[in-house]
Amino acid sequence: MLLSQAIQEFMKTKEVVQRVSSHTLGHYKTNLQRFLRWFDDVPDIEDITSDQIKEFISTLNHLSKKSLLNTFSDLSALWTWAVEEKGYASYHVMRKIKAPRPEKKEVIPFTEEEVKKLLKVLGVSRTYTRKNLSQPYELNKEIHARNQALFLFLLDSGAREMEARLLKVDDIRLGERGVYLVRVNGKGDKERVIGISTRTQAAIEKYLVGRAIQSEYVFTNTTTGKPMVRGSILRICERVAARARVNKVHPHRFRHTFAINFLRNGGDAYTLQKILGHSDMGMVTKYLAISRADIERCHAKASPVINWSL
pLDDT digits (tens, 9 = 90+) for 80-93: 999 999 999 999 99
Closest CA to 256 of 104, 150, 108: 108
Q: Would you place residue 124 in the very low, low, confident or very high pLDDT band (cuts 50, 70, 90)?
A: low
Q: Would you place residue 295 in the very low, low, confident or very high pLDDT band (cuts 50, 70, 90)?
A: low
What pLDDT score does 134 carry?
A: 52
State percent of the chain over pLDDT 70: 89
| Average pLDDT for 242-257 | 94
What pLDDT score does 136 carry?
A: 53
Q: How far is CA 228 from the centre of its chain?
A: 14
What is the rounded distance in angstroms from the CA atom of residue 247 to the CA atom of residue 234? 13
What pLDDT score does 300 carry?
A: 62
What is the rounded distance in angstroms from the CA atom of residue 81 to the CA atom of residue 87? 8
What pLDDT score does 201 carry?
A: 95
Domain annotation for the chain: domains and CATH numbers: 3-96 (1.10.150.130), 112-300 (1.10.443.10)
**Residue 52, by phi and psi: left (phi above 0), alpha (psi -120 to 50) or beta?**
alpha
Give pLDDT tens digits for 44-64. Answer: 999 999 999 999 999 998 888
Classify burial at 29, counting beta carbons within 10 Å of its beta carbon; exposed 0-12, middle 13-18, buried 19 or more: middle
100 φ, ψ to 5°?
-60, 150
Q: How far is CA 88 from the centre of its chain?
A: 34
What is the rounded distance in angstroms from the CA atom of residue 176 to the CA atom of residue 103? 41
What pLDDT score does 125 carry?
A: 60
Residue type, 53: I
Decide if 164 contacts 178 (C-beta within 8 A). no
